[in-house]
Amino acid sequence: MEKLKEFTLNFFNKLGANITKKGEVYVVSNIIKSFEDIVGQASPYPITFDKETKGAEYLSHTSIIFRAINKYLENAGKTTLLRIDFEEDLSEKLKKRIKLKNCEIENITKQHKNHFFSRFSFLTTFQYINKKEQILNEIYVHEGKVVEGSLDGYKIVEGENKIENKDFLMKDYDLAKEKLKELTISKTEEISKTLEKHLDKETEGIKKHYDNLLGELGGDLTKQLVKINELELQLRVAEGETEKEELKTKIDRLKKGLLKIADDEAKSRVLKEREFSVNNAKQKNSLNISNKLINTTVIYYPIFQFNLYIKGDNSKRFLELSYDPLTKEMDKLKCECCGTQIEEVQIDEAGHLTCSNCLDHCSECGKVYCGKCLNKSCHACGKPLCKKCSKVCFACGKYACPTHLRKDCVSGEDRCTMCLRACLRCHGLAEEKHFGESMDGSKVCQKCLAQENRNKIMKNIFEN
């Protein structure tokens, strides 16, 4: 039992979890998500190693937590594959999502494609002056971007597929490491600052201590060192050659004197000790950071694609709509006329999906059409016309409605009424070019002129 206890607590410690003890109950919290996913339940986990204790899971070889630990360790180092489970009846959901006005949905079929994202769990350990701080970071990467991730509230099951192409994992890992740096930098800076202050204080103390020692040894080593330092600084800024020479001689003399002092065994030992103490303080106040990747998980979930028909009275339209159950986002339906998002779907005679604003009637046949289909109008009366109801006048090249398109009584061709003129004799319509002057001086159509000619000939025949 003790072994099991040690093993379990050790495991949670290594994962960076918090463990608090209340009586015989150990409450494990702040544990990585990849472990929670295996348990199938979020932490905290109250556990106990005492059979008599109530209100906590008794840890044995068959308990849920213990089995999760085993599973976790089996997969450690491997990439875990998880799937987010969506069980809802999505076809029904889709039908509810789409509001229909003059049409209905037919023949829905569903396919899906898997989308992947990766999750990396890092345990960062900061070690300094007998202290150890651990931070747990879980970083999600989706389609080449670090994303804010949380799988809370989703049903996670073990993935049954194999990851065919793992190339993306390496790239995702690099991104996650970059992100980790970002996440730990402020902590690093914060600790470094404290350590620097600490070190400065300690070094000062050490120097003071050894200066005193040297003073007690009777030498004026410190004074000499200060003097040399001063002279060397002067030499650096000195300009004249003689001045430089003088300074150099002085420095040489002082250094020789220094050697004499340093020859003294006691003093050199003190100096060595001082150096050692300073180095020691530096080491003691240094920060060690280690990052350990403790888990890699690939999570996949389906993106659904629905194929369906929107059916109107006389037309049908095939549609592909994708639905992301994670973001709950569905492809937006856009009006094929004005491009805005459709609230209520309507379909026109040509099978175009439109919003309520863009649907109108052809004033000739009365059928519903979208603004794009009704882009022609009669130039005589201005009525909007569908493709079928609009005819072009070959004289002026403009469109006309059936009321304003007539047969030229001379050529027999269709012309708009703007291009025709009424013949006062036969009341027929003809193009201006088909008019001529009759015997009584009035302008009549060529048909009437021909008639007049025929009558004239006939008259002549009978008169002769």
Residue 361 has phi, psi (to 5 degrees) of -105, 150
Q: Should residue 426 be labelled a site residue for Zn ion when binding is judged by CB under 5 A?
A: yes
Torsion of CA 15, 20, 23, 25, to 10 degrees: -40
User: By three-state DSSP, how is residue 297 classified?
Assistant: strand
With respect to Zn ion, which residue has the nearer C-beta, 352 or 406?
352
With respect to Zn ion, which residue has the nearer C-beta, 333 or 362?
362
Selected range binding Zn ion among 157-165, 207-215, 284-292, 399-407, rule: CB under 5 A = 399-407
Q: How far is the CB of 329 from Zn ion (least distance, A)?
A: 22
- Taking the C-alpha atoms of residue 135 and residue 123, their distance in angstroms, rounded to an integer, is 6
Cβ-based neighbours of 112, under 8 Å, separated by 6 or more: 302, 303, 304, 305
With respect to Zn ion, which residue has the nearer C-beta, 103 or 373?
373
Of 151, 169, 445, 449, the one binding Zn ion (CB under 5 A) is: 445
Of 28, 310, 362, 449, the one binding Zn ion (CB under 5 A) is: 362
Interacting residues with Zn ion between 371 and 390 (CB under 5 A): 373, 378, 380-381, 386, 389
Paired with 444 in beta bridges are 436
Q: Should residue 420 be labelled a site residue for Zn ion when binding is judged by CB under 5 A?
A: no
Torsion of CA 95, 96, 99, 103, to 10 degrees: 30
Q: Which of 31, 151, 143 is nearest to 83 (CA)?
A: 151
Which tokens hold the place of 313? Answer: 């009275």
- Taking the C-alpha atoms of residue 299 and residue 26, their distance in angstroms, rounded to an integer, is 31
Tell me whether residue 12 is exposed, middle or buried, using C-beta atoms within 10 angstroms of its C-beta: 0 to 12, 13 to 18, 19 or more: buried
Question: What's the maximum distance between 2 C-alpha atoms anywhere in the chain?
Answer: 168
Selected range binding Zn ion among 223-231, 291-299, 303-311, 328-336, rule: CB under 5 A = 328-336
Q: Should residue 401 be labelled a site residue for Zn ion when binding is judged by CB under 5 A?
A: yes
Q: How far is the CB of 98 from Zn ion (least distance, A)?
A: 16
Q: How far is the CB of 96 from Zn ion (least distance, A)?
A: 23
Q: How far is the CB of 97 from Zn ion (least distance, A)?
A: 19
Q: How far is the CB of 304 from Zn ion (least distance, A)?
A: 27
User: By three-state DSSP, how is residue 259 classified?
Assistant: helix
- Taking the C-alpha atoms of residue 153 and residue 219, their distance in angstroms, rounded to an integer, is 76
With respect to Zn ion, which residue has the nearer C-beta, 240 or 412?
412
Q: Should residue 419 be labelled a site residue for Zn ion when binding is judged by CB under 5 A?
A: yes
Q: Should residue 350 be labelled a site residue for Zn ion when binding is judged by CB under 5 A?
A: yes
Of 141, 206, 345, 395, the one binding Zn ion (CB under 5 A) is: 395
Q: How far is the CB of 380 from Zn ion (least distance, A)?
A: 4
End-to-end CA distance of the chain: 145
Q: How far is the CB of 167 from Zn ion (least distance, A)?
A: 44
Q: Should residue 431 be labelled a site residue for Zn ion when binding is judged by CB under 5 A?
A: no
Q: Give contact residues for Zn ion (rule: CB under 5 A).
A: 335, 337-338, 348, 350, 352, 355, 358, 362, 364-365, 370, 373, 378, 380-381, 386, 389, 393, 395-396, 401, 404, 416, 419, 423, 425-426, 428, 444-445, 448
